Amino acid sequence: MNKNNYDYSIKNIKSDELILTYNVSSDKFILLDKDKIIINDNFIKKFQLHPISTNNYYLVAQLGNKTIKKEIMLVFSSNKLDNPLYFNIYIKNNNNTDTNKDNKKFYILKSDCTSNICETHYVIKEDISTTKFKKNGSYIFHLSYHNLQPCRISIKNKDFNVLGYTKTANINPNFTSKGFMCNVNRDLENSWKVKDIKKCNYMQFTNNKYNNKLKTCAIDNKMKTLLNNIPSIPQIFTQYVKKTKLMEAGNTQQKTELAKANIQNKIGDRNTLNVTEKMEKTLEPEYKEVLNKTIQDFDKVDEKDYTKENYMTLLKDIYEKNKEYRLLAKYKKCEGNKLSSVCNVDNIVQCQKKCNEIYDCAHVSYNRKKNICTLFNTCNRLRNSYNHNSYTKKSLLRNNGYNIFNAINMNKNVPIEELPWGIRLATFICGCIIILSVSMIIFKIIKALIKFGLCIYYDNCYYPLELLNPFSDLGPEKRYI
């Protein structure tokens, strides 16, 4: 029984383009073209079904602040039909002029269309003595959600949307425990993927069970054609982060291009243009971010500082640091002889300039989230830290007094990344095996030397001189050590 008060549209199976509409002023039902624009408020196409008993409902419509109720009885089709959600509509007579006996009588609704192509027409109330399901198409109606719902299924615990189909409204009490139905919707753009044959109008699904119609109803007879995978929450979050970063990158690039054009128009010449283009092509990705930020910030400086010389100095500074330092590791921080930490450092280039101010500085780790620059003399190992990137000086003779002696000392302290525990365990086992093997070999050599010394001392050594005769077939008669 229906527990949720959804808004429904009611259609006759003879034409999916016509929707059951109630004319309040004349108290009559019409099958009206769904694309027809209604100006008169007396026509209602959206209904709710409020249950009274097993097959009896109130057909509820809203007209402004007024609620209109019609008592109806729905007689559903057999499960042997293509769609067990088809039904006949029996409506209770509410005409107060009739006798009390007629006032309790139900009349069946029937489409008055007699042609193959049905257009807008009135629905007639036919007097009938029985309330059995009538198979004539003029009497058969079905529900659809007024606000369409996707046909969402599960196969092997993965969620999919079935393309070309929408979920069919189900209030049949004999069918609610047997899964759900989806009907093809030709208004959907992807409905061309569904074959235009009668058996593909509806599909019945139960969770984690495959329906063969997914393959037979696909235009190319392939199941995957009608299935669209629904990503999991972690996948959605990952895609969201990627798309957000992509949008941010696009916005940053757009701002950079605008600032670069302003600078070029005000103080630029062929040289500034060539240098900027060269740097954009040759800089490492981390330095390109600094370049973009620098160009944007320079476009906002005071007029007295807005000069070609200052602009070229900034570009040269970024280019030099790109040449002077190399990236040790992303998302890792150095551990070694720490010299100092500096706060409020805008970018990695400024951090490297701080390193150049200290004689013994050879490595830097930059926290891009907190803008903290940590300077090191040695970097013995690297530990995981998402907010850090670590760099080291790579040239022997660069600016600011970085000398060859410090370079040699730095090469003696090459940063080593922290190895996984599995590799460390395997290295320990291999080391033990090598030590045992070398120990056994040394033991054998020492033992042989001791025996050789004893035999010389006691003069009981046996010398196999027959081995020196290349024409002799004789071998040693006994062991000689």
CA atoms of 459 and 363, how far apart (whole Å): 67
Q: Measuring CA to CA, which residue among 164, 228, 218 is closest to residue 191?
A: 164
**Six-digit token pair at 210?**
């495959």
Q: What is the DSSP letter of 396?
A: S
Alpha helices in 14-98 (DSSP H): none
Per-residue pLDDT of the chain in tens (481 residues, 90 and over written 9): 445 678 898 988 888 888 999 988 888 899 988 887 777 778 888 899 998 888 889 999 888 888 889 999 998 887 665 567 889 999 988 654 454 555 568 889 998 888 878 888 889 888 887 778 888 888 999 888 888 899 999 888 888 999 999 998 888 877 766 678 898 988 898 999 999 988 888 888 887 888 889 999 999 999 889 999 888 778 788 787 777 766 766 677 888 888 888 888 988 888 888 888 888 888 888 888 888 888 888 888 888 888 988 898 888 888 888 888 888 888 899 998 999 999 999 889 999 999 988 888 889 999 988 999 999 988 888 999 888 999 998 764 444 444 555 555 555 555 555 567 788 888 889 999 999 999 999 999 998 888 888 877 877 776 666 666 777 666 666 654 4
What is the rounded (10 degree) CA torsion for 444, 449, 455, 461? Answer: 80
Beta carbons within 8 Å of 40's beta carbon, 6+ residues apart: none
Q: Where are the beta strands (DSSP E) in 218-270?
A: 227-229
Question: Cα(164)–Cα(386) distance, rounded to whole angstroms?
Answer: 44
20-28: long-range contacts at Cβ-Cβ below 8 A with a sequence spacing of 24 or more?
A: 20/45, 20/47, 20/109, 20/123, 20/141, 21/45, 22/47, 22/61, 22/68, 22/70, 24/63, 24/68, 28/122, 28/123
